[in-house]
Amino acid sequence: MNGSDSPLSSNGLMTAKAYLHLYEITEEDLKRIQDFGALVLPRFSDYLDAFYTWLEKLPAFDEHFSDPERLARVKREQEVYWNDFFKGRVNDDYIQRRRSGGETHARIGLSLDTYFAAMNLSMVVMTDRMYDGSLDVEDYAAAVRAVTKLMHLDTAIVADTFSRLSNQTILDQSQALAEMSTPVTSIWNQILMVPLVGVLDSKRSYDLMNAMLTKIAETHSRVIILDISGVAVVDTAVANHLIQITKATRLMGCACIFSGISPVIAQTIVELGIEIKDVDTTATLKDALSIAFKKTGVDIREL
């Protein structure tokens, strides 16, 4: 398959040609859509009346469309959309406009359930209430099939775009939360500290190690303190994660100190038979800082 036949565009998304093939929309279908649009678009005000009589009964109306200026703008955008729809010209620019619609839905937070219901209502209004009965039965059925295909195509693009952006938002939020949950802070020259809270699983351990090694490389630190007093559970898996982190920091020329070793954690480590030799451990952060200062040659004296 050469580049011109590829179903994907340069940004990895489906092309108009691929969508037309997927939904089996032919040139004849597009011509029927144009002809049907000539019948219903002159009665577009009837569509708006029916659509907003329905929408006003939904919670989404008060949330998204109660402002008169916004409502007027949305109505104008709907008119632009349906005029574009009934032109029957489905090219890559048309597909991009549908994706922009999906981005708008994701940005304002209008649910897909409401969008699907709105498209279903639009289908009923366009092909039934606004239709003047001028076509014979076969032509009318063929026109409805064509309109339905393109509506399904549009709906799929909007839903896909909505989902992709929503998933990206969730991913970005998760990444931000992960970064917040594993803060690597410089507390003194050449000394870093990481307060660990919650559960340390494989994914978080990997992220933590990356964050620590990156910070060590940036600051040329010689000591890093991991305060594990807030770790929910210390079992064999957690201990192994911590040991791997220690080995990695050592390869970077940075010593690792564990602080916050409570009696319960100490007993658990002993009972599990976990080897933590060559690792400095302290009960308190104060003791960990004292060791860190010695390792970096800092002389701290009490006045």
105 pLDDT above the threshold of 90: no
* pLDDT per position as a tens digit, 54-91: 999 998 888 888 889 989 999 999 999 999 999 999 99
**Sequence ranges of the domains in the chain:** 3-177, 185-295
Predicted confidence at residue 302, as pLDDT, reads 66
Q: Which residue has the tokens 């969008």?
A: 115
> How many C-alpha atoms does 77 have within 13 Å on its Cβ side?
12
Host H or E run for residue 151: helix 137-181
Answer yes or no: pTM beyond 0.85: no
Superfamily covering domain 3-177 = Globins (1.10.490.10)
| 3-class DSSP string for 230-252 | EECCCCHHHHHHHHHHHHHHHHC
Tokens describing residue 171: 């991913």
CATH architecture of the domain with range 185-295: 2-Layer Sandwich (3.30)
Contact 47, 126 (CB under 8 A): yes
Residues in the chain: 303
**Buried/exposed 206-232: b ≥16 CB within 10 Å, e otherwise:** ebbbebbbebbeebebbbbbbbbbebe
